[in-house]
A and B are shown apart, each in its own frame.
Chain A
Amino acid sequence: MSVSPGSPDSVSPEFPDTTPAAERRAPGVRVSGLTVVYRTPAGELPAVSGIDLELPAGTITGLVGESGSGKSTLALSLLNAVQPPGRISAGSVEVDGLGDVVKLGGEELRRARGRHIGYVFQAAQNSLNPLKTVGKQLLDLGRSHQVRDLRALVGEARDLLGRMGLDGARVLDSYQHELSGGMRQRVGIMLALVLNAHLVVLDEPTTALDMITQATILRIVREVHRERGLTTLVITHDLGVVAEAARRPGRRHVRRAGAGAGADRRGARRAPPPLHPGPDPGHPAPGRRPRRDPGAARPPADARDDPGAGMRLRGALRPAHGRVRGGGAAGRLPRRADRGLPRRRPAGRPGPRAGRDRAAGASGRGRTGRTRARRGRGHGGGTGVITGQAITKTFRQRGGVLGGREVTALRGVDFAVPKGGAVSFIGESGCGKTTLGRIAAGLESHDSGEITIDGVPMSSLRPRRRRPYFRRIQLIHQDPYSALNPTRTIHQTLDAPLALRARQTGRPRSWTDERAEELLGLVGLDPGYVLPRYPHQLSGGMRQRVVIARALTVDPEMLVADEAVSMIDVSLRLGILSLLKDLRERLGVGVLFITHDVATARYIGGDGELYVIYRGQVVERGPVETVISAPVHPYTQALLSAIPVLHGLERPGEQRVVPTEALDESRPDDGCLFARRCPFRTGRCESERPVLGHAGETPQEHACFHPERRSVVATPMGAP
Chain B
Amino acid sequence: MSEPVVAAGGTRATLRRNFWRGVWRVLRRKPSRMLGVVILAGFAVMGAVGPLLYPERLPRDDDALYAPPSWEHPFGTDFEGTDVLALVITGSRYVLLTALVTAVITVVLGTGVGLLAGFRRGRWDTVLMRITDMKLTIPGLPLLLVLSTVWTFTGAFEMGLVLGLLGWGGVARAVRAQTLSLRERGFIEAARGLGLSTTHIVGRELLPGMAPFIAMNMLIAVTGAVYAQVGLFFLGVLPFDANNWGVMLNLAVFGGGALTTTAALPYMMAPLLAIMLLTLGIVLVVDAMDEIFNPRLREE
A468 to B204, CA, bound (A): 22
Contacts of B193 in A (CB 8 A): 441-443, 470-471, 474-475
* Known A477-B186, A479-B186, A489-B15; contact A531-B8, beta-carbon cutoff 8 A: yes
A482 and B194 contacting across the interface, CB-CB below 8 Å: no
Tell me the count of chain A residues lying within 8 A, CB to CB, of chain B: 41
**A480: nearest residue on chain B (CB-CB)?**
B186
If the complex has contacts A471-B195, A497-B196, are A486 and B190 also in contact, measured as CB distance less than 8 A?
A: no
CB pair A467–B195 under 8 Å, yes or no, is yes
Whether, in the assembled complex, B12 has its beta carbon less than 8 Å from a beta carbon of chain A, the answer is: yes
Which residues on the B side are within 8 Å of A443 (C-beta)? Answer: 189, 192-193
Main secondary structure on B side of the interface with A: helix
Q: In the complex the two chains form, is A485's CB within 8 Å of B187's CB? A: yes
> Is there contact, CB below 8 Å, between B208 and A487?
yes
Question: Looking across the interface, which residue of chain B has its beta carbon closest to that of A473?
Answer: B193
Chain A residue nearest in CB terms to B195: A471
Residues from 184 to 203 in B contacting A, C-beta threshold 8 Å: 185-187, 189-197, 200
* A486–B15 alpha-carbon span in the complex (Å): 14
Bound Cα distance A632, B179 (Å): 47
Assess whether B1 is interfacial by the CB under 8 Å rule.
yes
Is there a chain B Cβ closer than 8 Å to A517's Cβ? yes
Bound form: Cα–Cα A156–B196 in Å: 60
For residue A550, CB closer than 8 A to chain B, the reply is yes
Report whether A500 and B295 are in contact in the complex, using a CB–CB cutoff of 8 Å: no
Q: Give every chain B residue within 8 A of A492 (Cβ-Cβ).
A: 204
Contacts of A274 in B (CB 8 A): none
For A534, the chain B residues whose CB sits under 8 A away are 295-296, 299
Shortest Cβ distance from residue A337 to the other chain B in the assembled complex, whole angstroms: 26
The smallest beta-carbon distance between B246 and chain A, in angstroms, is 39
Chain A residues with CB under 8 A of B186: 477, 479, 482-484
Instruction: State whether B8 touches A491 (Cβ < 8 A).
Output: yes
A164 close to chain B: CB less than 8 A: no
Q: For the complex, what is the distance from the CA of A482 to the CA of B205, rounded to whole Å?
A: 12
User: Is B11 in the interface zone, CB < 8 Å from A?
Assistant: yes
A496 near B295: Cβ-Cβ < 8 Å: no
In residues 514-570 of chain A, which contact B (Cβ within 8 Å)? 514, 516-517, 528, 531-532, 534, 536-537, 547, 550-551, 553-554
Q: B227: shortest Cβ distance to chain A, in Å?
A: 32
- Nearest-neighbor residue (CB-CB) of A489 within chain B: B15
Report the Cα distance A625→B9, complex, angstroms: 50
The CA-CA distance from A534 to B187 in the complex, in Å, is 14
A553–B196 Cα distance when bound, in Å, is 12
Q: A491-B12, A514-B4, A534-B299 are in contact. Are A497 and B194 (CB under 8 A)?
A: yes
Contacts A479-B186, A488-B208, A513-B5 hold; do A536 and B296 have CB atoms under 8 A apart? Answer: yes
Q: Is A2 an interface residue (CB 8 A)?
A: no
B14 interfacial by beta-carbon distance below 8 Å: yes
Is there a chain A Cβ closer than 8 Å to B233's Cβ?
Answer: no
Tell whether A510 is near chain B: CB-to-CB under 8 Å.
yes
Q: Does B211 contact A (CB under 8 A)?
A: yes
Residue of A nearest to B207 (CB): A487
Chain B's closest residue to A491 (CB) is B11
0/1 string, B1-24, CB within 8 A of A gives 1: 110110111011011000000000
Residues of A within 8 A of B187 (CB): 482-485, 493
Measured CA separation A485–B192 after assembly (Å): 13
Whole-angstrom distance between the alpha carbons of A88 and B1 in the complex?
56
Q: In the complex, what's the smallest C-beta–C-beta distance from B287 to chain A, in angstroms?
A: 17
A496 contacts B191, CB within 8 Å? yes
Per a CB cutoff under 8 Å, which of B1, B14, B15, B204 touches A514? B1
Is B168 in the interface zone, CB < 8 Å from A?
A: no
Residue of B nearest to A42 (CB): B300
A554 to chain B, nearest CB (A): 6
Whether B209 sits at the interface, judged by CB under 8 Å, is yes
Residues of A at the B interface (CB closer than 8 Å) are 441-443, 467-468, 470-471, 474-475, 477, 479, 482-489, 491-493, 496-497, 500, 510, 513-514, 516-517, 528, 531-532, 534, 536-537, 547, 550-551, 553-554
Contacts A/B (CB < 8 Å), 26 sampled: A441-B193, A442-B193, A443-B189, A477-B186, A482-B185, A483-B185, A483-B187, A483-B190, A486-B294, A487-B209, A487-B211, A487-B294, A488-B208, A491-B8, A491-B15, A492-B204, A496-B191, A497-B194, A500-B194, A514-B1, A532-B14, A534-B295, A536-B295, A550-B190, A551-B194, A553-B194
The 7 A-B pairs with the shortest beta carbon distances in the complex, nearest first, are: A483-B186, A513-B8, A487-B208, A477-B186, A482-B186, A497-B194, A485-B187
Given A483-B186, A488-B205, A532-B11, 9 more pairs with CB closer than 8 A: A443-B189, A471-B194, A475-B189, A487-B294, A487-B295, A491-B15, A492-B204, A500-B195, A510-B2
- B residues contacting A by CB (< 8 A) are 1-2, 4-5, 7-9, 11-12, 14-15, 185-187, 189-197, 200, 204-205, 208-209, 211, 293-296, 299
